[in-house]
Structure 1
Protein backbone atom coordinates (compact mmCIF):
# COMPACT_ATOMS: atom_id res chain seq x y z
CA UNK A 1 0.00 0.00 0.00
CA UNK A 2 2.75 2.45 0.93
CA UNK A 3 4.49 1.75 -2.38
CA UNK A 4 1.32 2.58 -4.29
CA UNK A 5 0.60 5.87 -2.49
CA UNK A 6 2.48 8.02 -5.03
CA UNK A 7 0.78 6.15 -7.85
CA UNK A 8 -2.63 6.80 -6.30
CA UNK A 9 -1.78 10.50 -5.97
CA UNK A 10 -0.95 10.62 -9.68
CA UNK A 11 -4.13 8.68 -10.50
CA UNK A 12 -6.15 11.23 -8.51
CA UNK A 13 -4.61 14.22 -10.32
CA UNK A 14 -5.06 12.62 -13.76
CA UNK A 15 -8.70 11.76 -13.06
CA UNK A 16 -9.38 15.31 -11.83
CA UNK A 17 -7.71 16.95 -14.85
CA UNK A 18 -8.92 14.34 -17.36
CA UNK A 19 -5.55 14.80 -19.03
CA UNK A 20 -2.05 13.38 -18.73
CA UNK A 21 -0.47 16.62 -19.90
CA UNK A 22 -2.38 18.84 -17.44
CA UNK A 23 -1.66 16.38 -14.64
CA UNK A 24 2.02 16.46 -15.58
CA UNK A 25 2.05 20.26 -15.32
CA UNK A 26 0.40 20.20 -11.88
CA UNK A 27 2.74 17.49 -10.61
CA UNK A 28 5.88 19.03 -12.18
CA UNK A 29 6.50 15.76 -14.02
CA UNK A 30 6.91 14.87 -17.66
CA UNK A 31 3.87 13.56 -19.47
CA UNK A 32 5.80 10.34 -20.14
CA UNK A 33 6.46 9.84 -16.41
CA UNK A 34 2.76 10.32 -15.62
CA UNK A 35 1.77 7.85 -18.32
CA UNK A 36 4.29 5.31 -17.04
CA UNK A 37 2.99 5.70 -13.47
CA UNK A 38 -0.60 5.04 -14.55
CA UNK A 39 0.51 2.05 -16.60
CA UNK A 40 2.37 0.69 -13.59
CA UNK A 41 -0.70 1.10 -11.36
CA UNK A 42 -2.93 -0.58 -13.96
CA UNK A 43 -0.46 -3.44 -14.20
CA UNK A 44 -0.33 -3.93 -10.43
CA UNK A 45 -4.13 -3.81 -10.10
CA UNK A 46 -4.56 -5.86 -13.29
CA UNK A 47 -7.30 -3.57 -14.59
CA UNK A 48 -7.53 -0.66 -17.02
CA UNK A 49 -8.25 2.62 -15.24
CA UNK A 50 -8.54 5.08 -18.14
CA UNK A 51 -9.74 5.14 -21.70
CA UNK A 52 -7.35 7.20 -23.84
CA UNK A 53 -9.24 9.49 -26.25
CA UNK A 54 -8.11 12.33 -28.54
CA UNK A 55 -9.68 14.81 -26.07
CA UNK A 56 -8.01 13.35 -23.01
CA UNK A 57 -8.69 10.43 -20.69
CA UNK A 58 -11.90 9.05 -19.20
CA UNK A 59 -12.28 6.75 -16.23
CA UNK A 60 -13.26 3.17 -16.93
CA UNK A 61 -15.81 1.46 -14.68
CA UNK A 62 -12.94 0.05 -12.64
CA UNK A 63 -11.40 3.52 -12.51
CA UNK A 64 -14.69 4.96 -11.23
CA UNK A 65 -14.78 2.32 -8.48
CA UNK A 66 -11.31 3.41 -7.41
CA UNK A 67 -11.81 7.16 -7.75
CA UNK A 68 -14.04 8.05 -4.77
CA UNK A 69 -12.25 5.91 -2.14
CA UNK A 70 -8.85 7.19 -3.31
CA UNK A 71 -10.06 10.81 -3.25
CA UNK A 72 -11.40 10.34 0.27
CA UNK A 73 -8.26 8.55 1.48
CA UNK A 74 -5.92 11.18 0.05
CA UNK A 75 -8.00 13.92 1.66
CA UNK A 76 -7.56 12.18 5.02
CA UNK A 77 -3.81 11.81 4.42
CA UNK A 78 -3.53 15.50 3.50
CA UNK A 79 -5.52 16.50 6.59
CA UNK A 80 -3.27 14.37 8.79
CA UNK A 81 -0.16 15.91 7.21
CA UNK A 82 -1.51 19.40 7.87
CA UNK A 83 -2.21 18.48 11.50
CA UNK A 84 1.35 17.22 11.90
CA UNK A 85 2.63 20.44 10.35
CA UNK A 86 0.48 22.44 12.78
CA UNK A 87 1.93 20.46 15.70
CA UNK A 88 5.47 21.11 14.44
CA UNK A 89 4.67 24.82 14.17
CA UNK A 90 2.98 24.71 17.61
CA UNK A 91 -0.35 25.84 16.16
CA UNK A 92 -2.04 22.93 17.90
CA UNK A 93 -1.22 20.28 20.48
CA UNK A 94 -1.27 19.75 24.23
CA UNK A 95 1.15 20.48 27.05
CA UNK A 96 0.61 18.56 30.30
CA UNK A 97 2.29 20.00 33.38
CA UNK A 98 2.39 18.53 36.88
CA UNK A 99 2.71 21.27 39.51
CA UNK A 100 1.55 22.19 43.01
CA UNK A 101 -0.66 25.17 43.91
CA UNK A 102 2.09 27.22 45.54
CA UNK A 103 4.71 26.82 42.81
CA UNK A 104 2.04 27.37 40.17
CA UNK A 105 0.99 30.65 41.76
CA UNK A 106 4.36 32.09 42.75
CA UNK A 107 6.67 30.70 40.05
CA UNK A 108 4.95 29.14 37.06
CA UNK A 109 2.19 31.60 36.15
CA UNK A 110 4.37 34.20 34.34
CA UNK A 111 5.89 31.44 32.18
CA UNK A 112 2.45 30.01 31.39
CA UNK A 113 1.18 33.46 30.46
CA UNK A 114 4.13 34.07 28.13
CA UNK A 115 3.85 30.61 26.52
CA UNK A 116 0.08 30.89 26.00
CA UNK A 117 0.43 34.34 24.42
CA UNK A 118 3.02 32.98 21.98
CA UNK A 119 1.30 29.64 21.24
CA UNK A 120 -2.45 30.12 21.87
CA UNK A 121 -3.32 26.94 19.98
CA UNK A 122 -1.57 24.71 22.53
CA UNK A 123 -3.99 23.31 25.09
CA UNK A 124 -2.59 23.51 28.62
CA UNK A 125 -3.47 20.72 31.04
CA UNK A 126 -2.40 21.30 34.65
CA UNK A 127 -2.16 18.28 36.96
CA UNK A 128 -2.13 19.42 40.57
CA UNK A 129 -0.40 17.56 43.38
CA UNK A 130 2.49 17.25 45.80
CA UNK A 131 6.02 16.55 44.57
CA UNK A 132 5.40 12.84 45.07
CA UNK A 133 2.20 13.07 43.01
CA UNK A 134 3.98 15.02 40.27
CA UNK A 135 6.74 12.44 39.96
CA UNK A 136 4.04 9.78 39.68
CA UNK A 137 2.33 11.74 36.89
CA UNK A 138 5.61 11.88 34.96
CA UNK A 139 6.54 8.22 35.44
CA UNK A 140 3.06 7.09 34.33
CA UNK A 141 3.08 9.34 31.25
CA UNK A 142 0.18 11.47 32.49
CA UNK A 143 2.37 14.62 32.50
CA UNK A 144 5.03 15.73 30.02
CA UNK A 145 6.97 17.78 32.57
CA UNK A 146 6.75 18.60 36.26
CA UNK A 147 7.67 21.72 38.21
CA UNK A 148 8.37 20.83 41.82
CA UNK A 149 10.50 21.25 44.91
CA UNK A 150 13.99 19.82 44.80
CA UNK A 151 15.94 17.77 45.65
CA UNK A 152 14.60 14.85 43.63
CA UNK A 153 16.70 11.70 43.50
CA UNK A 154 15.70 9.46 40.58
CA UNK A 155 18.06 8.23 37.84
CA UNK A 156 15.13 7.95 35.42
CA UNK A 157 14.40 11.68 35.60
CA UNK A 158 16.12 14.66 34.05
CA UNK A 159 16.25 17.45 36.63
CA UNK A 160 16.83 21.10 35.72
CA UNK A 161 17.25 23.33 38.79
CA UNK A 162 15.53 26.72 38.36
CA UNK A 163 14.61 29.19 41.08
CA UNK A 164 16.58 29.26 44.35
CA UNK A 165 14.34 29.36 47.42
CA UNK A 166 14.85 29.72 51.17
CA UNK A 167 12.84 28.14 53.97
CA UNK A 168 12.21 30.64 56.74
CA UNK A 169 9.93 31.33 59.70
CA UNK A 170 7.43 34.18 59.83
CA UNK A 171 4.92 35.48 62.35
CA UNK A 172 2.16 38.03 62.78
CA UNK A 173 1.90 41.11 64.99
CA UNK A 174 1.54 39.10 68.21
CA UNK A 175 5.05 37.63 67.89
CA UNK A 176 6.62 40.66 66.23
CA UNK A 177 9.26 41.11 68.97
CA UNK A 178 10.78 37.76 67.98
CA UNK A 179 11.78 39.26 64.63
CA UNK A 180 13.92 41.84 66.38
CA UNK A 181 16.47 39.38 67.76
CA UNK A 182 18.41 36.29 66.70
CA UNK A 183 16.65 33.03 67.62
CA UNK A 184 18.50 29.86 68.56
CA UNK A 185 17.10 26.62 67.14
CA UNK A 186 16.56 25.17 70.60
CA UNK A 187 14.36 28.15 71.46
CA UNK A 188 12.56 28.12 68.12
CA UNK A 189 11.28 24.55 68.58
CA UNK A 190 9.62 25.60 71.85
CA UNK A 191 7.41 28.11 70.00
CA UNK A 192 3.98 27.26 68.52
CA UNK A 193 5.16 26.15 65.09
CA UNK A 194 3.05 25.76 61.95
CA UNK A 195 4.24 23.39 59.21
CA UNK A 196 3.03 21.77 56.02
CA UNK A 197 1.70 18.26 56.37
CA UNK A 198 3.98 15.28 55.87
CA UNK A 199 5.40 13.97 53.59
CA UNK A 200 5.95 17.12 51.49
CA UNK A 201 9.49 17.84 50.24
CA UNK A 202 9.47 21.22 52.02
CA UNK A 203 8.54 19.68 55.38
CA UNK A 204 11.02 16.83 55.05
CA UNK A 205 13.85 19.16 54.01
CA UNK A 206 13.45 21.39 57.07
CA UNK A 207 13.00 18.40 59.39
CA UNK A 208 16.26 16.88 58.13
CA UNK A 209 18.05 20.17 58.82
CA UNK A 210 16.77 20.28 62.42
CA UNK A 211 17.56 16.59 62.94
CA UNK A 212 21.18 17.14 61.86
CA UNK A 213 21.35 19.88 64.47
CA UNK A 214 20.04 17.52 67.15
CA UNK A 215 16.46 18.81 67.31
CA UNK A 216 13.08 17.25 66.55
CA UNK A 217 9.98 19.18 65.48
CA UNK A 218 6.54 18.98 67.08
CA UNK A 219 4.33 21.46 65.20
CA UNK A 220 1.19 22.83 66.81
CA UNK A 221 -0.59 22.82 63.42
CA UNK A 222 0.05 20.85 60.24
CA UNK A 223 -1.61 22.50 57.26
CA UNK A 224 -2.30 21.48 53.68
CA UNK A 225 -1.02 24.53 51.80
CA UNK A 226 1.55 27.30 51.88
CA UNK A 227 -1.20 29.93 51.70
CA UNK A 228 -2.81 28.54 54.86
CA UNK A 229 0.52 28.81 56.64
CA UNK A 230 0.63 32.48 55.67
CA UNK A 231 -2.97 33.08 56.76
CA UNK A 232 -2.47 31.33 60.12
CA UNK A 233 0.66 33.38 60.79
CA UNK A 234 -1.20 36.60 59.97
CA UNK A 235 -3.92 35.50 62.40
CA UNK A 236 -1.31 35.14 65.17
CA UNK A 237 -1.87 31.40 65.54
CA UNK A 238 1.85 30.62 65.59
CA UNK A 239 5.16 30.76 63.74
CA UNK A 240 4.88 29.45 60.17
CA UNK A 241 7.62 27.78 58.17
CA UNK A 242 7.28 29.21 54.67
CA UNK A 243 9.32 30.01 51.57
CA UNK A 244 10.79 33.50 51.80
CA UNK A 245 10.48 34.23 48.08
CA UNK A 246 6.74 33.52 48.23
CA UNK A 247 5.97 35.90 51.11
CA UNK A 248 7.89 38.97 49.94
CA UNK A 249 4.71 41.03 49.48
CA UNK A 250 3.26 40.57 53.02
CA UNK A 251 6.74 41.04 54.50
CA UNK A 252 7.10 44.36 52.67
CA UNK A 253 3.62 45.47 53.79
CA UNK A 254 4.46 44.69 57.41
CA UNK A 255 1.69 42.13 57.97
CA UNK A 256 4.28 39.37 58.39
CA UNK A 257 7.62 39.47 60.15
CA UNK A 258 10.61 37.22 59.43
CA UNK A 259 12.58 35.60 62.22
CA UNK A 260 16.37 35.61 62.07
CA UNK A 261 17.80 32.21 63.02
CA UNK A 262 21.20 31.71 64.59
CA UNK A 263 21.77 29.00 61.95
CA UNK A 264 20.07 29.68 58.61
CA UNK A 265 18.49 26.77 56.76
CA UNK A 266 20.46 26.08 53.54
CA UNK A 267 18.75 27.17 50.34
CA UNK A 268 17.24 24.71 47.90
CA UNK A 269 15.64 25.01 44.46
CA UNK A 270 12.51 24.57 42.42
CA UNK A 271 13.16 22.58 39.27
CA UNK A 272 11.82 21.07 36.08
CA UNK A 273 11.67 17.28 35.86
CA UNK A 274 10.87 14.91 33.02
CA UNK A 275 11.68 11.37 31.90
CA UNK A 276 15.10 10.85 30.32
CA UNK A 277 13.89 7.90 28.25
CA UNK A 278 10.97 9.69 26.55
CA UNK A 279 11.64 12.54 24.10
CA UNK A 280 9.76 15.71 24.98
CA UNK A 281 6.90 16.72 22.72
CA UNK A 282 7.47 19.78 20.56
CA UNK A 283 5.33 21.88 22.91
CA UNK A 284 7.04 20.58 26.06
CA UNK A 285 10.47 21.16 24.55
CA UNK A 286 9.59 24.77 23.72
CA UNK A 287 8.11 25.33 27.19
CA UNK A 288 11.17 23.99 29.00
CA UNK A 289 13.36 26.11 26.74
CA UNK A 290 11.32 29.22 27.52
CA UNK A 291 12.01 28.77 31.23
CA UNK A 292 15.69 27.92 30.74
CA UNK A 293 16.33 31.11 28.78
CA UNK A 294 15.26 33.15 31.81
CA UNK A 295 17.56 31.32 34.23
Structure 2
Protein backbone atom coordinates (compact mmCIF):
# COMPACT_ATOMS: atom_id res chain seq x y z
CA UNK A 1 0.00 0.00 0.00
CA UNK A 2 1.47 3.35 -1.02
CA UNK A 3 1.84 6.25 1.35
CA UNK A 4 -0.30 8.72 -0.54
CA UNK A 5 -2.88 8.66 -3.29
CA UNK A 6 -1.32 9.97 -6.47
CA UNK A 7 -4.10 12.10 -7.89
CA UNK A 8 -4.25 15.62 -9.16
CA UNK A 9 -5.57 18.37 -6.91
CA UNK A 10 -9.13 19.08 -7.96
CA UNK A 11 -12.61 19.57 -6.63
CA UNK A 12 -15.13 16.91 -7.45
CA UNK A 13 -18.83 17.72 -8.07
CA UNK A 14 -21.00 18.59 -5.11
CA UNK A 15 -22.65 15.66 -3.37
CA UNK A 16 -25.94 15.69 -1.51
CA UNK A 17 -27.04 13.65 1.45
CA UNK A 18 -30.39 11.94 1.78
CA UNK A 19 -31.92 13.92 4.63
CA UNK A 20 -34.70 16.44 4.20
CA UNK A 21 -32.30 19.39 4.52
CA UNK A 22 -30.48 18.29 1.36
CA UNK A 23 -27.18 19.63 2.65
CA UNK A 24 -24.75 20.14 -0.20
CA UNK A 25 -21.27 18.67 0.16
CA UNK A 26 -18.04 19.14 -1.71
CA UNK A 27 -15.40 16.43 -2.05
CA UNK A 28 -11.81 17.62 -2.35
CA UNK A 29 -9.01 15.19 -3.23
CA UNK A 30 -5.33 16.04 -2.85
CA UNK A 31 -2.19 13.94 -2.69
CA UNK A 32 -2.08 13.82 1.10
CA UNK A 33 -5.74 14.01 2.08
CA UNK A 34 -9.37 13.73 1.08
CA UNK A 35 -11.97 16.11 2.47
CA UNK A 36 -15.75 15.92 2.42
CA UNK A 37 -17.22 19.17 3.70
CA UNK A 38 -20.63 20.82 3.73
CA UNK A 39 -20.99 23.96 1.63
CA UNK A 40 -22.42 25.74 4.66
CA UNK A 41 -20.59 25.91 7.99
CA UNK A 42 -19.91 22.47 9.46
CA UNK A 43 -21.09 21.52 12.93
CA UNK A 44 -17.80 19.69 13.52
CA UNK A 45 -14.67 18.44 11.77
CA UNK A 46 -13.61 14.80 12.13
CA UNK A 47 -9.97 14.01 11.25
CA UNK A 48 -9.23 10.33 10.62
CA UNK A 49 -5.99 8.34 10.51
CA UNK A 50 -5.87 4.75 9.26
CA UNK A 51 -3.65 1.87 10.25
CA UNK A 52 -0.09 1.28 9.09
CA UNK A 53 -1.07 0.59 5.46
CA UNK A 54 -4.37 2.44 5.09
CA UNK A 55 -4.85 5.58 3.03
CA UNK A 56 -7.85 7.86 2.64
CA UNK A 57 -9.57 5.52 0.21
CA UNK A 58 -9.32 2.46 2.45
CA UNK A 59 -10.35 4.40 5.57
CA UNK A 60 -13.48 5.57 3.77
CA UNK A 61 -14.24 2.01 2.68
CA UNK A 62 -13.63 0.35 6.06
CA UNK A 63 -15.22 3.10 8.18
CA UNK A 64 -18.35 4.04 6.30
CA UNK A 65 -19.26 7.09 8.37
CA UNK A 66 -19.69 9.63 5.59
CA UNK A 67 -23.46 9.21 5.20
CA UNK A 68 -23.99 9.72 8.94
CA UNK A 69 -21.64 12.70 8.88
CA UNK A 70 -23.58 14.31 6.05
CA UNK A 71 -26.83 13.84 7.93
CA UNK A 72 -25.28 15.85 10.78
CA UNK A 73 -23.43 18.49 8.75
CA UNK A 74 -19.97 17.21 9.81
CA UNK A 75 -16.85 17.59 7.69
CA UNK A 76 -14.69 14.46 7.34
CA UNK A 77 -10.96 14.75 6.69
CA UNK A 78 -9.19 11.51 5.71
CA UNK A 79 -5.41 11.68 6.01
CA UNK A 80 -3.01 9.72 3.77
CA UNK A 81 -0.45 9.69 6.59
CA UNK A 82 0.59 6.14 7.44
CA UNK A 83 3.48 3.71 7.95
CA UNK A 84 4.09 5.07 11.46
CA UNK A 85 3.81 3.58 14.95
CA UNK A 86 4.83 6.90 16.54
CA UNK A 87 5.65 10.48 15.54
CA UNK A 88 8.98 12.23 15.36
CA UNK A 89 9.12 15.92 16.22
CA UNK A 90 9.42 16.63 12.51
CA UNK A 91 6.30 14.54 11.84
CA UNK A 92 4.37 16.56 14.42
CA UNK A 93 5.46 19.85 12.87
CA UNK A 94 4.65 18.75 9.32
CA UNK A 95 1.23 17.39 10.28
CA UNK A 96 0.43 20.56 12.20
CA UNK A 97 1.33 22.74 9.21
CA UNK A 98 -0.68 20.48 6.89
CA UNK A 99 -3.76 20.78 9.09
CA UNK A 100 -3.35 24.54 9.31
CA UNK A 101 -3.26 24.76 5.52
CA UNK A 102 -6.26 22.49 5.05
CA UNK A 103 -8.36 24.39 7.58
CA UNK A 104 -7.39 27.76 6.12
CA UNK A 105 -7.86 26.86 2.46
CA UNK A 106 -11.19 25.15 3.08
CA UNK A 107 -12.47 27.58 5.71
CA UNK A 108 -13.16 24.81 8.20
CA UNK A 109 -14.40 25.73 11.69
CA UNK A 110 -11.96 25.25 14.55
CA UNK A 111 -14.36 25.21 17.47
CA UNK A 112 -15.37 21.54 17.33
CA UNK A 113 -12.50 19.34 16.10
CA UNK A 114 -12.21 15.61 16.76
CA UNK A 115 -9.32 13.33 15.85
CA UNK A 116 -9.44 9.55 15.71
CA UNK A 117 -7.61 6.59 14.30
CA UNK A 118 -7.61 2.84 13.89
CA UNK A 119 -4.71 0.67 15.07
CA UNK A 120 -1.45 2.62 14.57
CA UNK A 121 -3.61 5.54 13.46
CA UNK A 122 -4.85 5.74 17.05
CA UNK A 123 -1.28 6.18 18.26
CA UNK A 124 -0.84 9.01 15.77
CA UNK A 125 -4.12 10.60 16.87
CA UNK A 126 -3.09 10.64 20.54
CA UNK A 127 0.45 11.91 19.96
CA UNK A 128 -0.56 14.59 17.46
CA UNK A 129 -3.44 15.79 19.63
CA UNK A 130 -1.15 16.06 22.63
CA UNK A 131 1.27 18.13 20.52
CA UNK A 132 -1.48 20.45 19.24
CA UNK A 133 -2.68 21.17 22.77
CA UNK A 134 0.81 21.42 24.24
CA UNK A 135 1.85 24.02 21.67
CA UNK A 136 -1.41 25.96 22.11
CA UNK A 137 -2.06 25.55 18.43
CA UNK A 138 -4.96 27.21 16.67
CA UNK A 139 -6.19 23.71 15.82
CA UNK A 140 -6.96 21.88 19.05
CA UNK A 141 -9.17 18.80 19.34
CA UNK A 142 -12.09 18.72 21.75
CA UNK A 143 -11.97 14.95 21.63
CA UNK A 144 -9.78 12.05 20.54
CA UNK A 145 -10.67 8.41 19.98
CA UNK A 146 -8.66 5.29 19.22
CA UNK A 147 -9.77 1.97 17.76
CA UNK A 148 -7.91 -1.07 19.12
CA UNK A 149 -4.53 0.65 18.93
CA UNK A 150 -1.11 -0.74 20.01
CA UNK A 151 -0.58 2.19 22.37
CA UNK A 152 2.13 0.46 24.45
CA UNK A 153 5.07 -0.03 22.07
CA UNK A 154 7.10 -1.95 24.62
CA UNK A 155 4.24 -4.38 25.32
CA UNK A 156 3.68 -4.69 21.57
CA UNK A 157 7.36 -5.55 21.04
CA UNK A 158 7.22 -8.17 23.77
CA UNK A 159 4.08 -9.68 22.26
CA UNK A 160 5.85 -9.98 18.90
CA UNK A 161 8.70 -11.82 20.61
CA UNK A 162 6.21 -14.26 22.11
CA UNK A 163 4.60 -14.80 18.71
CA UNK A 164 7.96 -15.68 17.18
CA UNK A 165 8.66 -18.12 20.01
CA UNK A 166 5.22 -19.75 19.72
CA UNK A 167 5.68 -20.27 15.99
CA UNK A 168 1.96 -21.03 15.70
CA UNK A 169 0.82 -18.66 12.95
CA UNK A 170 2.94 -17.87 9.91
CA UNK A 171 1.38 -14.40 9.75
CA UNK A 172 2.22 -13.74 13.41
CA UNK A 173 5.80 -14.92 12.99
CA UNK A 174 6.33 -12.78 9.89
CA UNK A 175 4.74 -9.74 11.53
CA UNK A 176 6.64 -10.31 14.77
CA UNK A 177 9.96 -10.62 12.99
CA UNK A 178 9.37 -7.49 10.92
CA UNK A 179 8.23 -5.40 13.91
CA UNK A 180 11.00 -6.47 16.28
CA UNK A 181 13.55 -5.68 13.58
CA UNK A 182 11.93 -2.29 12.95
CA UNK A 183 11.85 -1.42 16.63
CA UNK A 184 15.39 -2.69 17.24
CA UNK A 185 16.67 -0.44 14.45
CA UNK A 186 14.63 2.60 15.47
CA UNK A 187 14.23 2.38 19.25
CA UNK A 188 16.87 -0.15 20.23
CA UNK A 189 16.45 -3.47 21.96
CA UNK A 190 14.49 -2.91 25.19
CA UNK A 191 16.80 -5.33 26.97
CA UNK A 192 19.33 -2.49 26.78
CA UNK A 193 16.89 0.09 28.16
CA UNK A 194 13.36 1.29 27.50
CA UNK A 195 13.98 5.06 27.39
CA UNK A 196 13.35 5.32 23.64
CA UNK A 197 10.15 3.31 23.99
CA UNK A 198 8.90 5.66 26.70
CA UNK A 199 9.93 8.68 24.63
CA UNK A 200 7.85 7.62 21.61
CA UNK A 201 4.96 5.56 22.92
CA UNK A 202 1.58 6.97 23.95
CA UNK A 203 1.77 4.73 27.02
CA UNK A 204 4.30 2.44 28.69
CA UNK A 205 2.51 0.21 31.17
CA UNK A 206 5.70 -1.19 32.70
CA UNK A 207 6.41 2.24 34.23
CA UNK A 208 2.91 3.79 33.90
CA UNK A 209 4.54 6.44 31.70
CA UNK A 210 1.96 8.77 30.10
CA UNK A 211 3.91 11.99 29.60
CA UNK A 212 3.44 11.82 25.82
CA UNK A 213 -0.32 12.26 26.25
CA UNK A 214 -0.35 14.21 29.53
CA UNK A 215 -1.76 17.31 27.84
CA UNK A 216 -4.95 15.42 27.04
CA UNK A 217 -5.92 15.46 30.72
CA UNK A 218 -8.93 17.70 30.04
CA UNK A 219 -9.79 16.30 26.62
CA UNK A 220 -12.70 13.99 25.81
CA UNK A 221 -11.24 10.54 25.12
CA UNK A 222 -12.77 7.34 23.84
CA UNK A 223 -10.97 4.00 23.73
CA UNK A 224 -12.65 1.37 21.54
CA UNK A 225 -11.62 -2.27 21.69
CA UNK A 226 -13.11 -5.74 21.17
CA UNK A 227 -11.26 -8.23 23.41
CA UNK A 228 -12.43 -11.45 21.76
CA UNK A 229 -9.88 -13.80 23.29
CA UNK A 230 -11.54 -16.86 21.73
CA UNK A 231 -11.02 -15.49 18.23
CA UNK A 232 -7.37 -14.66 18.87
CA UNK A 233 -6.72 -17.92 20.72
CA UNK A 234 -7.97 -19.97 17.78
CA UNK A 235 -6.30 -17.89 15.07
CA UNK A 236 -3.04 -16.79 16.72
CA UNK A 237 -2.77 -18.61 20.07
CA UNK A 238 -2.86 -15.24 21.83
CA UNK A 239 -3.24 -14.92 25.58
CA UNK A 240 -5.20 -12.00 27.12
CA UNK A 241 -2.01 -9.97 27.65
CA UNK A 242 -1.28 -10.20 23.91
CA UNK A 243 -4.36 -8.17 22.97
CA UNK A 244 -4.27 -4.42 22.39
CA UNK A 245 -7.22 -4.23 24.75
CA UNK A 246 -4.98 -5.34 27.62
CA UNK A 247 -2.84 -2.18 27.34
CA UNK A 248 -5.84 0.03 26.52
CA UNK A 249 -7.63 -1.03 29.70
CA UNK A 250 -4.48 -0.36 31.70
CA UNK A 251 -4.18 3.12 30.24
CA UNK A 252 -7.82 3.83 30.99
CA UNK A 253 -7.22 2.91 34.64
CA UNK A 254 -4.10 5.07 34.88
CA UNK A 255 -5.87 8.09 33.40
CA UNK A 256 -8.88 7.66 35.65
CA UNK A 257 -6.69 7.41 38.75
CA UNK A 258 -4.14 10.08 37.92
CA UNK A 259 -6.27 12.76 36.33
CA UNK A 260 -9.70 11.75 37.58
CA UNK A 261 -10.78 12.59 34.03
CA UNK A 262 -14.49 11.85 33.79
CA UNK A 263 -14.25 12.49 30.05
CA UNK A 264 -12.38 9.22 29.47
CA UNK A 265 -14.51 6.34 28.19
CA UNK A 266 -13.51 2.72 27.64
CA UNK A 267 -15.86 1.06 25.17
CA UNK A 268 -15.56 -2.72 24.89
CA UNK A 269 -17.64 -4.36 22.19
CA UNK A 270 -18.70 -7.90 21.34
CA UNK A 271 -19.00 -9.41 17.85
CA UNK A 272 -18.84 -6.01 16.14
CA UNK A 273 -15.51 -6.49 14.39
CA UNK A 274 -15.90 -7.15 10.67
CA UNK A 275 -13.98 -5.92 7.67
CA UNK A 276 -15.80 -4.29 4.75
CA UNK A 277 -15.60 -7.56 2.81
CA UNK A 278 -17.49 -9.36 5.60
CA UNK A 279 -14.47 -11.05 7.13
CA UNK A 280 -14.70 -11.49 10.90
CA UNK A 281 -11.88 -9.65 12.68
CA UNK A 282 -12.16 -7.93 16.10
CA UNK A 283 -9.34 -5.62 15.00
CA UNK A 284 -11.52 -3.52 12.70
CA UNK A 285 -12.98 -0.04 12.28
CA UNK A 286 -16.47 -1.53 12.56
CA UNK A 287 -16.34 -1.84 16.35
CA UNK A 288 -17.10 1.89 16.46
CA UNK A 289 -20.81 2.67 16.61
CA UNK A 290 -21.03 5.60 14.19
CA UNK A 291 -24.27 7.04 15.57
CA UNK A 292 -22.93 7.03 19.13
CA UNK A 293 -19.64 8.59 17.99
CA UNK A 294 -21.42 11.46 16.27
CA UNK A 295 -23.63 12.10 19.30
CA UNK A 296 -20.46 12.21 21.41
CA UNK A 297 -18.94 14.74 19.02
CA UNK A 298 -21.96 17.04 19.00
CA UNK A 299 -22.57 16.89 22.73
CA UNK A 300 -21.22 19.85 24.71
The two structures have a TM-score, normalised by structure 1, of: 0.31
Which structure's residues are more often strand, by fraction?
1
The two structures have a TM-score, normalised by structure 2, of: 0.31
Higher RCO (CA-CA < 8 Å; seq separation 6+): 1
Which structure's residues are more often helix, by fraction?
1
- Point out the structure with max Rg over C-alpha: 1
